[in-house]
Amino acid sequence: VNAEEAIEQLVADRSLKRIMVIGASDAGKTTFAELLLRRMEGESALVDLDLGQSHVGPPAMLGWGRWSQEYRSVDEIRPERLFFVGATSPLANPKAAIAGAAALVSDASDRAERVVIDTSGAVEGSYARHLKLEKIRVTRTDGVVALERGGELEHITNAILHGRLAPVLVLPVAKEAVPKPARERSAYRHRRFAGYFASACLMRLPLEGLEMMAFSKQDSLFEGGRLIRGLLIGLADRVGRHVGMGIIEGLDEEANELIVLTPVPRRGKIVAVLPGRMLLTPAGKEERLRRR
């Protein structure tokens, strides 16, 4: 089948409520997801599980939003809900990436008739495979579209079929889809991070009573007893929703308050923070975080 026929099939089969698109970087996953959304009738939604080259919400956060036929592209989708992972690859924080995938797809499924799931380009190696399979499982994906260049997805699609996780439709990557250099991908993230923090202000969070939501013991705001300036963190409200991100600016020891740079408005009361796994400048420059 070609892409056109595949889209027709997928749209017509309403038993395929949750459709996941997988493929390497620049395989045309987002382009395919958008074509699919354009053809779907009724309420449809996009869940963006790509943390680096993301379209719904900022990088380092997963997000979902409703599609409207009036949109020119998926970049116009307004996030209904975000989930903080704190890294630009799922491999850097797999537990959070899996938990977020489950939470967002479940939320989107409750509120839309059809859900298209865009994914990261991490498809190489057994670690990436396990992560992809786990995402298919926890999201209860009904069908998988695999955009393949030359056998690079076989180890994943074979495992999906072997485990009877979901039917798989394998399509060749469009010839118009040309791989971007890594530099271009990092420039895209840089711009998206900078855009997110463009309207940021300082927010003070009393440390007393502030909850830490960590995915592992090593996730902390401190390293060797010292606050990690520049750490990217997630901000959660009292029902545990990840409302946005911040960058650690400092600590007011006298007032016992954490000082965070964030575009999140003050009225959405923050009661918990999630330590990320990377450093970021407000201008969008990423830096490695080395622990111990």
Ligand X SMILES: Nc1ncnc2c1ncn2[C@@H]1O[C@H](COP(=O)(O)OP(=O)(O)O)[C@@H](O)[C@H]1O
Q: Which residue is nearest to Mg ion (CB)?
A: 30
Among 11, 19, 29, 94, binds ligand X (CB under 6 A): 29
- 226-248: string of b/e by CB count within 10 Å (b at 16+)? ebbebbbbbbbeeeeebbbbbbb
Q: How far is the CB of 178 from ligand X (least distance, A)?
A: 6
Stretch that binds ligand X, among 86-94, 106-114, 173-181, 223-231 (CB under 6 A): 173-181
Sketch the per residue contact string, 193 through 232, with ligand X: x for CB under 6 A, - otherwise: ----------------------------------------
Among 31, 109, 141, 157, binds ligand X (CB under 6 A): 31
Instruction: Enter the tokens of residue 72.
Output: 């020119």
Q: CB of 209 within 8 A of CB of 269?
A: no
Among 10, 19, 22, 27, binds ligand X (CB under 6 A): 27
Among 15, 72, 150, 176, binds ligand X (CB under 6 A): 176
Give residue for tokens 């690079």: 152
Binders of ligand X: how many residues, by CB under 6 A? Answer: 13
Among 82, 101, 128, 177, binds ligand X (CB under 6 A): 177
30 contributes a contact to Mg ion by CB under 5 A: yes
Among 20, 23, 105, 275, binds ligand X (CB under 6 A): 23
Taking the CA atoms of residue 69, residue 72, residue 78 and residue 82 in that order, the dihedral angle to the nearest 10 degrees is 100
**Positive/negative CA dihedral, 24, 25, 27, 31:** positive
Q: How far is the CB of 145 from ligand X (least distance, A)?
A: 11
Within 13 Å and on the Cβ side, how many CA atoms surround 42?
9
Q: How far is the CB of 224 from ligand X (least distance, A)?
A: 38
- 48-78: string of b/e by CB count within 10 Å (b at 16+)? bbbbbbbbbbbbbbbbbbbbeeebeebeebe
Q: Which does 177 bind (CB under 5 to 8 A by kind): Mg ion, ligand X, none?
A: ligand X
Instruction: Enter the tokens of residue 112.
Output: 């839309």
31 contributes a contact to Mg ion by CB under 5 A: no
Name the phi and psi angles at 189, rounded to 5: -60, -45
Which of the residues 34 through 93 are near Mg ion (CB under 5 A)?
53
Q: Which residues bind ligand X (CB under 6 A)?
A: 23, 25-31, 53, 121, 174, 176-177
